[in-house]
Structure 1
């Protein structure tokens, strides 16, 4: 049986502030380490145990902190410090939780034909919306002849972005990630299949935690290997969360994240002569001027518009769904109350 302190499991002051004196004396605190179809695997200071998923529970995800009774029964979910989410895959518009209480998000992209600035900007929007710190990790550095060019492209998004280039198979190479991998800190890895996430995880964990597979030679795309999200305690004391490769990543309810990711464009729109400028043919348009003097890239502007429209569409649909769910919940509650009143007569 493994013994941990709460700090080793990622406990922070923001969670301590949510605990009552009674709970501190009588309850246990557990973190969700794995999320399965029918249950969660949770970890307390002294034991790990399954927790059956029941209809009356809130939606939870890997990284969440829970209050448990002394009899190991679920009491409540603690408010999250950060939460990573996306639009669920498929046509149905609903939000899917990816991870909670993550301190650093490693956005992994490979230095080959799969390198994609648009995709990096998508992940950045999600990271900024969640509140966690994004770090760009460019893998397969041993196969790249022009590292500086790729780093320069990423820094064109934001000159203050943290960018690290690594060979995921080389223990010495991944040491550059150490500042974010300290005791009790939680880090998550996102990136499309084949960029080397699982290989990187295995190297950092110093063991075969995730299965790996090669990439297709014709297009440098990856074969999907990781199938579930789980939290692992690293040799450094950090907590590592790997996520499945994402082929369809749509943002949802992410307006602030998009605005922060494209803060340079947002600043330009405020300099236009007309407050309702469409940035197409209007005179004294700061956005058009920036395109003409090449201080703004057309690719970046197009991606901004694309993500903004996607966010507006999905965000509105999710808000509508939440409102319907809330109204339905109130209806069920009123019916139950009426039923109780009828039985009492």
Structure 2
């Protein structure tokens, strides 16, 4: 008996209420956006499946009666939707994404690393201790804004601080566009304070360094202790890597949560728009500069430097904006050069192969 996929098409998409209202694909985050990219025939011939775990040796995918491990591939990451060939369980194509989080991979080989796809909300997690760094929050926020993801800063371990308000105020200064939630990650606080973003059929991600409470928050929303957690080091508040892979978890109300390992290095690439959105206050000031190409360094009539002198703009914030733009420009150019070189090499290989075929 063939499966009836008509409920998965855009015109039949149901509104998200409780989990019982979700069909099997909606429970994995299926949305009309993805359904519009395929036909009924494709749904039957190559059913969609979502990447729910990324391992070094493969991708774990789930779908409608699909539960399989696939070979790793560089163009797919956790959260992606793949169209599968049931006979060979090989992915045919990655569906267009609603969002994509990526960074320049650690190391010197100028590669791009895909972190997660099709995320609706990114909870940028920090804590009320030595781990708290405004510059790191800005990096994650720029990453989310560039991807078209709603960023929310979550300040944890408020119960361990004598002055949690100062951390909350510093987090709010990152951007007027970003909401800040302060809580104790244990107990019921995450379920009540994060509920407006954790709706049925939505996918959210916890991002941040190790030890800030990402896994504790995930456990709180799962209403279990299924994910291992570890205490931070007392001397420097540094966390240990508890989560070792990127994995989607389904919470009782039908929302999907991505728990990620802490990232020691977060190099931005192709994120200029996200950076400018985050620093919209500086962009607005720059519009008042005398020169259109003002670099905001020593030029006369610079509205940005004037704002710093008058105390309307923090000089440290200006410095962080400059640093992120310079880093992004360098990494973007480096990766573009790498892609161009790889494309030229691929063209050469195809040419050599074609020449060999002709000679045969």
For the criterion TM > 0.5, the same-fold answer is yes
Residue in 1 that maps onto 2:79: 63
Q: Is 1:23 aligned with 2:42?
A: yes
Per-residue deviation, residues 111-160 of structure 1 (Å, max 9, x unmatched): 11211111000001110111111011100111233333322222222223
Q: Is 1:50 aligned with 2:66?
A: no
Per-residue deviation, residues 266-315 of structure 1 (Å, max 9, x unmatched): 22122111223232333221111111221111111111111111111111
- Corresponding residue SS for 1:43: strand
- The correspondence for 1:37, drawn from 33, 39, 56, is 56
- The correspondence for 2:324, drawn from 267, 285, 307, is 307
Q: TM-score, normalised to structure 1's length?
A: 0.93
Contact 1:87 1:93 in 2 (8 A): yes
Query: What is the rounded CA distance, in whole Å, between the counterparts of 1:47 and 1:209 in structure 2?
Result: 23
- The correspondence for 1:5, drawn from 11, 24, 27, is 24
Contact 2:101 2:114 in 1 (8 A): yes
Residue in 1 that maps onto 2:180: 163
Query: What is the rounded CA distance, in whole Å, between the counterparts of 1:145 and 1:37 in structure 2?
Result: 42
- Corresponding residue SS for 1:287: helix
Q: Is 1:86 aligned with 2:103?
A: yes
Alignment of 1:100-139 (within 5 A): 100-139=117-156
Residue in 2 that maps onto 1:191: 208
Gaps of 5+ in 2: 1-21
TM-aligned CA deviation for residue 4 of structure 1: 5.9
Q: 1:211 to 1:251 in 2, by over 3 A?
A: same
Alignment of 1:228-243 (within 5 A): 228-243=245-260
TM-aligned CA deviation for residue 174 of structure 1: 4.0
- The correspondence for 2:113, drawn from 89, 96, 99, is 96
Question: Number of matched residues?
Answer: 338
Contact 1:4 1:45 in 2 (8 A): no
- Corresponding residue SS for 1:312: helix
Q: 1:4 to 1:247 in 2, by over 3 A?
A: same
Q: TM-score, normalised to structure 2's length?
A: 0.89
Query: What is the rounded CA distance, in whole Å, between the counterparts of 1:24 and 1:227 in structure 2?
Result: 33
Gaps of 5+ in 1: none
